[in-house]
Amino acid sequence: METIDKIKEQIAENPVLLYMKGSPKLPSCGFSAQTVQALMNCGEQFAYVDILQNPDIRSELPKFADWPTFPQLWVKGELIGGCDIILEMFQQGELQPLLKEAAVKSED
């Protein structure tokens, strides 16, 4: 499977997907750690892909997404953004309803 096809499939199959360095339990960078913390505080489940274990995704995703850095949060097939955007949305109370809505839709 082509890397871009794999990325599209992952995004389609997971209503909330975080491309990050490391895992939620063991983030490998501060930005990923902060993003995971914000997501966990929202209380909704999310999937993740460790880009350090997937160098093909690490190199192709920035071109596909037109977003150069990691982590990247995707909700319902749409790129939300990276660490700064996620933290800002969390602090302003915008992230929680977005994740809750995505979680509810995935149960339908």
Sheet with 72-75, edge to edge strand ranges: 47-50, 16-20, 72-75, 78-81
Distance CA 89, CA 97 (A): 10
- Which domains does the chain show, CATH number per domain? 3-98 (3.40.30.10)
Q: Any known ligand binding at 64?
A: no
What the block records as the tokens of 89 is: 């949305």
Task: Tell me what percent of the residues of the chain surpass a pLDDT of 90.
Answer: 94
> Could you count the other beta carbons within 10 Å of the beta carbon of residue 41?
10
21 in a labelled binding site? yes
Whether 58 has a binding-site annotation, put simply, is: yes
Does the annotation flag 42 for ligand binding? no
The response to whether 29 counts as a known ligand-binding position is yes
pLDDT of residue 108: 55
pLDDT of residue 106: 63
The pLDDT of residue 107: 63
Cα 101 to Cα 52: distance, rounded to the nearest angstrom: 29
State the pLDDT at residue 93.
97
Chain segment 89-107, per-residue pLDDT in tens: 999 999 999 999 998 876 6
Q: Is this model's pTM higher than 0.85 or not? A: yes
